[in-house]
Amino acid sequence: MCSAGRVVSVELADADIGILADLREWVHDLLTDAAAPEPAITASLCILTELVTNALTHGAPAGQCRLHLVPGRVLRMEIDDRSPHAATVADHPRRTRGAGGFGLVIVQHLASTWGQTPHPSGGKTVWAEINLG
């Protein structure tokens, strides 16, 4: 986890899917200003989109989106939700039935590391990190 740098939080509880455009624009500008390489910016935007979409769709309702930026080192994205169900990666990319998990395959491939932390009171934080250096 990032121990120094900039931390920003956005409340998602009353948000709808339309918030994604604003979040992507803001993160793009943030990473461009931090001189992050373009592949890291693109990967960050894809991961952010997937994690926020999951929280808004399955999060019952979503909580906060936190971004931890250590310029030149790492961007950590944390998205809270109140769903009791763990985020799971689809076990087979050609599976045609089931609830999903396909977007997390993308997160798994693009992120430097990712995971989830359950909350004692219910729900979880799904997080991903992108190396910027």
List the Cα angle 29/8/83 in 5-degree steps: 110
pLDDT digits 0-9 by tens, 73-127: 999 999 999 888 888 887 765 655 655 667 888 999 999 999 999 999 889 999 9
**Whether pLDDT at 4 is above 60:** no
pLDDT digits 0-9 by tens, 54-80: 898 887 777 899 999 988 899 999 999
- Give the helix/strand (H/E) hosting 11: strand 6-11
Torsion of CA 90, 17, 111, 119, to 10 degrees: -80
- Better pLDDT: 3 or 95: 95
Predicted pLDDT of residue 13: 82
User: Which amino acid, residue 80?
Assistant: D
The counts of H helices and E strands in the chain are 3, 5
Query: Which residue shows structure tokens 């689809």?
Result: 90
Q: Which domains does the chain have, with CATH numbers?
A: 6-131 (3.30.565.10)
pTM: 0.87
Distance CA 38, CA 28 (A): 10
